[in-house]
């Protein structure tokens, strides 16, 4: 790790002030991606602004037909939350399967969403559930938030405060983990709310999380895995590496989508 | 059987310190005034070094020293060596390129050592390393073995203009060709034995220290064989004479072969300690380990098996290219030759075998012994081609194997080995019963109904352990003899210290060696201490690798214990005022035959040191004996492993459902520890078959340089194992031990791949058979089935 | 330098550290508690697992300064008054370790599994929950047995494993 100064603001306003003064500084949420990157000297922020001591950034509440999760809420807490398990069990299940138990004890939903790693799980949930990302400045719809690999709508000095998930009528996440890293090689989050169907795919595309619109259309007629038979995602634009070529990933999108829908209708 | 003697599942004496966090590994040691070393490594697979400018780095804060290959050369420090000479078919010696510990003029793989920075902290050393300016002239790299031997390929070492280290062979070519000429059926197979990275969980580390007062060096290092390290560092690399160099290998967190070798880093640390006047500590991070630990396997092989009309094996011929990487590591040359071809007879009676091996340089990390070392590669060839032959002949794979088993012992194979004992059919029978082979058809149908593909795969392996005798390995090119030493020190109070040249890095010697002492001396196990891993304590030893500690190290201990008992009988005779011949030793007591006069072992020990009664006599005081044991033959553990698995054809995910291992390790000292060795070996073998593969891209960058991309077996990748045993005691050593450390890693890969090909309608799959590989094979199999 | 105060194995410690000091470095180098090991650079091997405020974390992926005010338990703090923790006993009894390097992290994770999932753990659960801990020696077979037995022995009123 390169040397850095360490700052521990007590409020979001203070944090925003610090980052405004030092645009190369990094916000530290759970650190489960940032710290390994810094350890390998792949990032050299002059300052690290630790959000851990900011009051009120962690927590889960149900507001009518919405579940609101604070940005600093740890994966483990989302996964075991009675509120989430009752309202959006698919989201709890997703959180319970991120990384490993020790990573889930530190990694946060805000950190994951802000980082928008192309193989992270949460972006798929946000996109499929039509979540709203609330920052210190504004509210951003998930559809507008994720803008390609490691790229989001966040502006300089903008800090995620919470994420609001509207309740689906049916939802499930099916993940095919990379055998080595256990990140999603393909993860498909299927959600149905009223007549709206969304299929969000993570891990597969070099553009990051995306919606498989052809699959969504097919499911709009009938929300059943049978509706996806014969449909396939084009291999163009899929990630291709030693773990899976583009055509294999494209194939897995179809398989995982069917499995997600199967699980969703089983509940 | 006593509760602590031979055959008892004694709980391990060493565990207390490990489960309480009090193990003492090299990186846990902090020497007064120690500075930290960081190695600047080559980012290029192949490049000339025009110049290295370290001036800016030297001026960085906290820097104690920056050293390069030029400094090493100026001090007359020699290069790293390969200790086993292999001769090519034409009688010429292998072409060993120079291997300086820090590069001189050229780098040959990504991770090659360019310079070392020594600083007050590791962070300061890393910061300074970034300030070193190296002017590289990049050269075309050659990563692929087939490309390396093509005319006009880039030359890695001038001494080997065709990149061929040796072109070696073994066996009777004419007899083999003759047998093929009259064969009714010939099975053929092309195989890749994938490159692996050993990955003990403790990375390598070293602390070099120099005492100007005594002119003595100390090296703390993660070694499986500290005496061999001292010998090489002294006699070949020339850092210090042996009596001025102490090598300590404290608790070592796994080795699997990768900690046998003498590497650049420990060489540099011990040399640099004097240069900078400070203890110098280096600990590898995991990425460095991937780049610079010696890798394993990496063969390309074509094999053919000749059969008569009834399916009896007539002959085998094998042609292998072995990737040895950019430099010859310490024992690399013998792994794809004498540790490989002599195992090609497997458990089978094959009248003629001929094997050719080309050792090849590439711009990749050096390749050397990794758990099994040559024997897994041989077993993969044998057990894959046997499976293919059985299927081509339409014979049950178990019955086909049984028909061809060696049945009479001793059995001389056409490739050096003289198998001394075994009962291969007994292991097969037991394994078939444990896996419930008769109902496999039913289980396959059940899987098919659930949309899954089920397969079963066999591996009937043999290995040669306790590599020996010294005269034999010497005649084959080994630079050292492969004996072992032990010393038994009996203290006046009757407690015992055993000093062994074997080294434990997970094998549990502190328990098993103590069990042998308990068995023979009849004393409680807590009165026995096993000392190893320090050249100032143990006089000499060859260390632990090749499943040799039981068969060779404990045999040395057994010999030393014989001497202790013989001496103690004389002491007892004086003490009891009887003649030597009348002394009997049983259950820890020396007694005079036919009387009630007796002394406990501890009382005799005390008498040996009091020595009043035999002063001035021919008996010397004290009770301490040593022995060197040189085996008369290899040992030949064998067994049958059966893997049963299920494939999800939609994703290609393989789930191992059952694993049966029935091994014949001869006499077992501690069945709990032996089973643990089998479990761990299977996991590494399954890792090779399904998960692990080191992958270089065409520019020579290691793509799999962390656990993000190199797939280590995890708990949820594996099933529980059913482990059974058969026993034919080894006749060539006093304890009947054969060795168990590598069996699982040797047996497992073909068992998995045979099971996969069984499930996939004989469609071949390469290792590692990742979900992607299996999915493609499943699709091909489905298409072919649909077409048929 | 940043001042950090935390409780480690029941003792309060205060130190001035470079902010880039990882928790694993802090316990190993500053406190000389070398039972916590480091086996990888990418937060996967789990040799470094300790408990922070009662939850398992990877100390190689946690800044020491982030643990200001926290209570940290390392493998050295698991045995109380010289009596081994039931999970430590179980690893010894079931031969759940060979070289011992992954063992501290493995045991700390195992205790955390029991804290979260209870005392009756099946093989499938144990294998899944050990996803973040890599062992190269044992093939996991005996680790799974050890965790299962250790979990039972941790139940209130359970008798010691050795007595079974």
Whether A101 and C56 lie within 8 Å, measured CB to CB: yes
Closest chain C residue to A105 measured between Cα atoms?
C57
Q: Which residues are registered as beta bridge partners of A166?
A: A66
Cβ-in-10-Å burial (0-12, 13-18, 19+) of C67 comes to buried
Q: What is the DSSP letter of B353?
A: E
CA distances to A4, B128, B653 from B62, in Å = 18, 9, 51
From the centroid of its chain, how far is CA B668? 20
> Given pLDDT bands bounded at 50, 70 and 90, which one contains residue B252?
very high
Q: Which chain A residues touch B708 with a CB distance below 8 Å?
A: 180-181
Closest chain A residue to B693 measured between Cα atoms?
A242
Dist. CA B270–CA B523, nearest whole Å:
41
Q: Which chains touch B (3 or more CB pairs under 8 A)?
A: A, C
Q: Which residues are registered as beta bridge partners of B185?
A: B307
Q: What's the pLDDT score for residue C163?
A: 39
Q: Which residues are registered as beta bridge partners of A192?
A: A170, A197
Is C2 part of the contact surface with chain A (CB cutoff 8 Å)?
Answer: yes
Mean pLDDT by runs of 10 across the 164 residues of chain C is: 96 96 97 98 96 98 97 96 95 98 98 97 98 98 98 86 42
Residue A251 in tokens: 């194939």
Q: What's the pLDDT score for residue B780?
A: 96
Is A176 part of the contact surface with chain B (CB cutoff 8 Å)?
Answer: yes
Q: What are B35-60's pLDDT values in tens digits?
A: 999 999 999 999 999 999 999 999 99
Q: Using a pLDDT cut of 70, give the percent of chain B over it.
A: 100
Residue B108 in tokens: 């040959």
Dist. CA C97–CA B506, nearest whole Å:
8
Domain B483-629 coded CATH 3.30.365.10: yes
- Chain A interface mutation, best of C17, C18, C61, C65, highest count of A Cβ atoms under 10 Å: C61
Dist. CA A93–CA A174, nearest whole Å:
10
Q: Which of B30, B676, B683 sits opposite C95 (nearest CB)?
A: B676
Which residues contact residue A40 at a Cβ distance below 8 angstroms, ignoring those fewer than 6 apart? B287, C41
> Given pLDDT bands bounded at 50, 70 and 90, which one contains residue A267?
very low
Question: In the CATH hierarchy, which fold is given to the domain comprising B31-139+201-254+259-292?
Answer: Aldehyde Oxidoreductase; domain 3 (3.90.1170)
Residues 1-40 of C with CB under 8 A from B: 18, 20, 28-29, 32-40
Residue written as tokens 């610090």? Answer: A18
Closest chain B residue to A249 measured between Cα atoms?
B772
Whether C141 and B718 lie within 8 Å, measured CB to CB: yes
- In this chain, the answer to whether the domains covering B31-139+201-254+259-292 and B296-467+633-787 adopt an identical fold is no
Dist. CA B353–CA B344, nearest whole Å:
8
Nearest Cα neighbor of B360 from B148, B570, B104, B45 is B148
| Alpha-carbon torsion angle B270, B275, B278, B279, nearest 10 | -10
Whether A180 and B710 lie within 8 Å, measured CB to CB: yes
Whether B708 and A181 lie within 8 Å, measured CB to CB: yes
Q: What's the pLDDT score for residue B561?
A: 97
Q: Which chain C residues touch B706 with a CB distance below 8 Å?
A: 40-42
Dist. CA C92–CA C109, nearest whole Å:
16
Give me the phi and psi of B635, to 5 degrees please.
-105, 155
pLDDT at A38 over 60: yes
Q: What's the pLDDT score for residue A192?
A: 97
Closest chain B residue to A180 measured between Cα atoms?
B711
Q: What are B173-184's pLDDT values in tens digits?
A: 999 999 999 999
Q: Which residues are registered as beta bridge partners of B307?
A: B185, B313
Is A248 part of the contact surface with chain B (CB cutoff 8 Å)?
Answer: yes
pLDDT at B191 over 50: yes
Given a contact cutoff of 8 angstroms between Cβ atoms, the answer to whether B190 and B304 are in contact is no
Domains of chain A with bracketed CATH: 5-50 (3.30.43.10), 60-166 (3.30.465.10), 170-266 (3.30.390.50)
Interface of A with C (CB under 8 A): 1-6, 8, 28, 31-32, 35-36, 38-40, 48, 50, 52, 76, 80, 99-103, 105-106, 181-182
Helix (H, G, I), strand (E, B) or coil at B96: coil
Whether B691 and A179 lie within 8 Å, measured CB to CB: yes
Q: Which of C19, C42, C129 sits opposite A48 (nearest CB)?
A: C19
Which residues contact residue B783 at a Cβ distance below 8 angstroms, ignoring those fewer than 6 apart? none
Whether A181 and C65 lie within 8 Å, measured CB to CB: no
Is A40 part of the contact surface with chain B (CB cutoff 8 Å)?
Answer: yes
DSSP character string of A36-73 = HHHHTTS---SEEEE-TT-TTSS-EEEETTEEEEETT-
Other C-beta atoms lying within 10 Å of the C-beta of residue A100: 24
Q: Are strands A26-28 and A47-50 parallel, antiparallel or unpaired?
A: parallel
Q: What are B527-540's pLDDT values in tens digits?
A: 999 999 999 999 99
- Tell me chain B's radius of gyration from C-alpha atoms: 28
Nearest Cα neighbor of A125 from A179, A69, A187 is A187
Is C45 part of the contact surface with chain B (CB cutoff 8 Å)?
Answer: yes
Q: What's the pLDDT score for residue C164?
A: 39
Is A243 part of the contact surface with chain B (CB cutoff 8 Å)?
Answer: yes
Is A252 part of the contact surface with chain B (CB cutoff 8 Å)?
Answer: yes
Q: Which of C19, C41, C68 sits opposite A4 (nearest CB)?
A: C19
Whether C101 and B23 lie within 8 Å, measured CB to CB: yes
Q: Which of A36, A101, A181 sits opposite C61 (nearest CB)?
A: A36
Domains of chain C with bracketed CATH: 2-77 (3.10.20.30), 86-157 (1.10.150.120)
Q: Which chain B residues touch C90 with a CB distance below 8 Å?
A: none
Question: Shortest Cα distance from A182 to chain B (angstroms)?
Answer: 8
Given a contact cutoff of 8 angstroms between Cβ atoms, the answer to whether C109 and C130 are in contact is yes
Q: Which chain A residues touch B651 with a CB distance below 8 Å?
A: 176, 252, 255
Given a contact cutoff of 8 angstroms between Cβ atoms, the answer to whether B245 and B216 are in contact is yes
Residues 116-135 of C with CB under 8 A from A: 116, 129, 131-133
Q: Where are the domains of chain B?
A: 31-139+201-254+259-292, 296-467+633-787, 483-629
Average pLDDT over chain B, rounded to an integer = 96
> Given pLDDT bands bounded at 50, 70 and 90, which one contains residue B1?
low
Could you say which architecture CATH assigns to the domain B296-467+633-787?
2-Layer Sandwich (3.30)
Q: What's the pLDDT score for residue C162?
A: 44
Dist. CA C105–CA C34, nearest whole Å:
12
Is A165 part of the contact surface with chain B (CB cutoff 8 Å)?
Answer: no
Q: Which of C42, C103, C142 sits opposite B706 (nearest CB)?
A: C42
CA distances to A83, A122, A173, C24 from A96, in Å = 14, 11, 11, 25
Q: What are B4-40's pLDDT values in tens digits?
A: 999 999 999 999 999 999 999 999 999 999 999 999 9
Q: What's the pLDDT score for residue C159?
A: 65
Q: What's the pLDDT score for residue B547?
A: 83
Q: What's the pLDDT score for residue B476?
A: 87
Question: Shortest Cα distance from B358 to chain A (angstroms)?
Answer: 28
Q: Which chains touch C (3 or more CB pairs under 8 A)?
A: A, B
Question: Shortest Cα distance from C79 to chain A (angstroms)?
Answer: 21
Q: Which of C35, C97, C123 sits opposite B22 (nearest CB)?
A: C35
Q: Which of C102, C104, C123 sits opposite B21 (nearest CB)?
A: C104
Q: What are B734-750's pLDDT values in tens digits?
A: 999 999 999 999 999 99
pLDDT at B788 over 90: no
Whether A179 and B712 lie within 8 Å, measured CB to CB: no
Q: What are A47-74's pLDDT values in tens digits?
A: 999 999 999 999 999 999 999 999 999 9
């Amino acid at each position: 790790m390169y040397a850095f100064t360490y700052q521990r603001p007590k409020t979001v306003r203070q944090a925003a002030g610090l980052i405004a003064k030092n645009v190369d500084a990094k916000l530290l949420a759970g650190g489960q991606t940032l710290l390994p990157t810094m350890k390998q000297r792949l990032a050299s922020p002059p300052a690290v602004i630790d959000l851990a001591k900011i009051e009120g950034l962690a927590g889960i509440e149900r507001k009518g037909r919405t579940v609101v999760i604070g940005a600093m809420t740890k994966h483990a807490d989302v996964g075991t939350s009675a509120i989430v398990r009752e309202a959006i069990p698919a989201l709890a299940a997703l959180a319970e399967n991120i990384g490993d138990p020790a990573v889930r004890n530190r990694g946060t939903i805000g950190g994951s969403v802000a980082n928008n790693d192309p193989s992270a799980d949460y972006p798929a949930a946000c996109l499929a559930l039509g979540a709203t990302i609330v920052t210190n400045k504004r509210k951003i719809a998930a559809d507008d938030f994720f803008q390609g690999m490691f790229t989001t709508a966040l502006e300089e000095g903008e800090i995620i405060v919470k994420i609001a998930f509207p309740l689906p009528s049916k939802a499930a996440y099916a993940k095919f983990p990379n055998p080595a890293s256990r990140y999603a090689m393909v993860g498909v989050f299927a959600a149905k709310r009223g007549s709206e169907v969304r299929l969000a795919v993570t891990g597969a595309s070099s553009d990051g999380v995306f919606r498989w619109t052809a699959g969504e259309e097919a499911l709009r007629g009938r929300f059943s895995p049978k509706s996806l038979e014969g449909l396939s995602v084009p291999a163009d634009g899929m990630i291709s590496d030693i773990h899976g070529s583009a055509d294999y990933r494209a194939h897995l999108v179809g398989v995982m989508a069917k499995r997600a829908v199967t699980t969703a209708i089983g509940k | 059987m006593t509760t602590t003697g031979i055959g008892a599942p004694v709980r391990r004496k060493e565990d207390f310190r490990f489960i309480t966090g009090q193990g003492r590994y090299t990186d846990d040691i902090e020497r007064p005034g120690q500075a930290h070393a960081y190695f600047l490594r080559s980012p290029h697979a192949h490049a000339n070094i025009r110049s290295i400018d370290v001036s800016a780095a030297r001026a960085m804060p906290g820097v104690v020293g920056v050293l390069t290959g030029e400094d090493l050369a100026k001090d007359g420090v020699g290069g790293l060596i390969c200790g086993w000479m292999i001769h090519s078919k034409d009688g010429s010696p292998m072409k060993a390129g120079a291997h300086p510990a820090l590069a001189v003029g050229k780098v040959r793989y990504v991770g090659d050592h360019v310079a070392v920075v020594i600083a007050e902290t590791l962070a300061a050393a890393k910061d300074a390393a970034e300030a070193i300016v190296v002017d590289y002239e990049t050269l075309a790299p050659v990563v692929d073995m087939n490309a390396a031997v093509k005319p006009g390929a880039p030359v890695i070492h001038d001494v080997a203009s065709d990149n061929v280290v040796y072109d070696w062979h073994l066996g009777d070519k004419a007899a083999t060709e003759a047998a093929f000429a009259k064969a009714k059926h010939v099975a053929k197979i092309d195989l890749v034995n994938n490159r692996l990275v050993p990955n003990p969980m403790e990375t390598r580390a070293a602390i070099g220290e120099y005492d100007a007062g005594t002119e003595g060096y100390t090296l703390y290092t993660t070694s499986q064989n500290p005496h061999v390290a001292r010998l090489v560092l002294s006699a070949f690399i020339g850092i210090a004479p042996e009596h001025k160099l102490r090598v300590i290998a404290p608790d070592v967190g796994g080795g699997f072969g990768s900690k046998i070798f003498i590497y650049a880093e420990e060489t540099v640390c011990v040399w640099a300690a004097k240069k900078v006047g400070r203890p110098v500590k280096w600990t590898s991070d995991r990425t460095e380990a991937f780049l610079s630990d010696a890798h394993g396997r990496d063969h390309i092989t074509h094999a053919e098996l000749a059969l008569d009309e009834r399916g009896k094996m007539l002959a085998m011929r094998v042609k292998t290219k072995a990737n040895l990487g950019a430099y010859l590591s310490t024992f690399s040359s013998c792994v794809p030759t004498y540790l490989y071809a002599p195992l090609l007879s497997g458990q089978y009676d094959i009248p003629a075998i001929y094997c050719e091996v080309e050792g090849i340089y590439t711009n990749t990390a050096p390749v050397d012994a990794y758990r099994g070392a040559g024997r897994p590669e041989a077993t993969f060839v044998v057990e894959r081609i046997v499976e293919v032959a059985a299927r081509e002949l339409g014979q049950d794979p178990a019955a086909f194997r049984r028909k061809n088993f060696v049945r009479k012992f001793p059995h001389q194979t056409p490739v050096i080995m003289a198998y001394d004992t075994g009962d291969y059919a007994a292991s097969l029978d037991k394994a078939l019963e444990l896996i419930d082979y008769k109902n496999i058809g039913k289980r396959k149908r059940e899987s098919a109904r659930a949309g899954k593909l089920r397969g079963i795969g066999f591996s009937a392996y043999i290995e040669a352990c306790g590599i020996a005798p010294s005269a034999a390995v010497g005649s084959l090119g080994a630079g050292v003899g492969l004996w072992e030493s032990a010393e038994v020190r009996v203290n006046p109070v009757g407690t015992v210290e055993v000093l062994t040249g074997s080294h434990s890095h997970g094998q549990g010697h502190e328990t098993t060696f103590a069990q042998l002492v308990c068995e023979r001396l009849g004393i409680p196990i807590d009165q026995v201490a096993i000392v190893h891993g320090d050249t100032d304590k143990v006089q000499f030893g060859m260390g632990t690798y090749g499943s040799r500690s039981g068969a060779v190290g404990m045999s040395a201990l057994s010999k030393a214990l014989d001497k202790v008992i013989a001496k103690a009988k004389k002491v007892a005779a004086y003490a009891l005022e009887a003649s030597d011949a009348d002394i009997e030793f049983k259950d820890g007591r020396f007694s005079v035959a036919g009387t009630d006069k007796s002394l406990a072992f501890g009382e005799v020990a005390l008498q040996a040191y009091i020595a009043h009664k035999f002063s001035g006599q021919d008996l010397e005081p004290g009770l301490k004996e040593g022995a060197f044991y040189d085996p008369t033959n290899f040992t030949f553990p064998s067994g049958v492993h059966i893997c049963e698995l299920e494939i999800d054809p939609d994703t290609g995910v393989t789930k191992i459902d059952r694993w049966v291992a029935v091994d014949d390790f001869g006499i077992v000292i501690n069945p709990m520890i032996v089973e643990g060795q089998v479990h761990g070996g299977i996991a590494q073998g399954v890792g090779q078959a399904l998960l692990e593969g080191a992958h270089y891209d065409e520019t020579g960058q290691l793509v799999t340089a962390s656990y993000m991309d190199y797939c280590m077996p995890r708990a949820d990748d594996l099933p529980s194992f059913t482990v059974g045993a058969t026993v034919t005691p080894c006749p060539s050593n006093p304890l009947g031990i054969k060795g168990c450390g590598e069996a699982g890693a040797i047996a497992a890969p073909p068992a998995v791949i045979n099971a996969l090909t069984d499930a996939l309608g004989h469609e071949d799959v390469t290792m590692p058979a990742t979900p992607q590989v299996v999915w493609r094979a499943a699709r091909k199999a489905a298409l072919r089935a649909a077409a048929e | 330098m940043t001042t950090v105060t935390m409780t480690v194995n029941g003792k309060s410690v205060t130190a001035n550290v470079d902010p880039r000091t990882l928790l694993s470095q802090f316990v190993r180098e500053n406190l000389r508690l070398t039972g916590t090991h480091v086996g990888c650079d990418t937060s996967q091997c789990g040799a470094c697992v300790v408990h922070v405020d009662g939850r398992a974390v990877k100390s190689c992926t946690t800044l020491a300064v982030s643990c200001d005010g926290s209570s940290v338990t390392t493998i050295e703090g698991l045995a109380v008054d010289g009596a081994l923790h039931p999970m430590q006993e179980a690893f010894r009894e079931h031969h759940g370790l060979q070289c011992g390097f992954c063992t501290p992290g493995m045991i700390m994770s195992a205790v955390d599994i029991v804290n979260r999932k209870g005392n009756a753990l099946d093989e499938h659960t144990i294998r899944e929950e050990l996803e973040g801990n890599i062992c190269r020696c044992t093939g996991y077979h005996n680790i799974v047995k050890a965790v299962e037995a250790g979990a039972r022995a941790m139940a209130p009123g359970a008798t010691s494993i050795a007595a079974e």
